[in-house]
Amino acid sequence: MNRSFRLLSVVSAFALAAVAARAADAGYVDLGKFKPAAGCEFVEVNIGTPLLKFASLFMDHDDPDAAALIKSLKHIRVNVVGLNETNRADTTAQVEKVRAELEAQGWTKMVTVREKGDTEDVAIYVKSHSDEAIDGIVVTVIDAKKGEAVFVNVVGNIKPEQLASLGRGLHIDHLDVNVKSKGV
pLDDT of residue 176: 58
Q: With H, G, I as helix, E, B as strand and everything else as coil, classify residue 164.
A: helix
Number of domains comprising the chain: 1
**Phi and psi for 18 in degrees, rounded to 5?**
-65, -45
Angstrom distance (rounded) from CA 9 to CA 1:
12
- pLDDT interval class at 64 (50, 70, 90): confident
Residue at 64: amino acid letter: P
Q: For residue 144, give its domain range.
A: 2-182
Exposure string (b/e) for 73-109, b if CB count within 10 Å is 16 or more? bbbbbbbbbbbeeebbeebeebbeebbeebeeeebee
What pLDDT, in 10s, does the model give residues 108-162?
Answer: 999 999 998 878 999 999 999 877 889 999 999 999 999 999 999 999 998 877 7
For residue 35, count other CB atoms closer than 10 A to its CB. 10
Q: What is the pLDDT of residue 100?
A: 97
| pTM of this prediction exceeds 0.85 | no
Instruction: Quote the mean pLDDT of the chain.
Output: 81
More confident residue, 38 or 163: 38
Q: Where residue 175 falls among pLDDT bands split at 50, 70, 90? A: low
Q: How far apart are CA 56 and CA 47, in angstroms?
A: 13
Is residue 53's pLDDT more than 80? Answer: yes
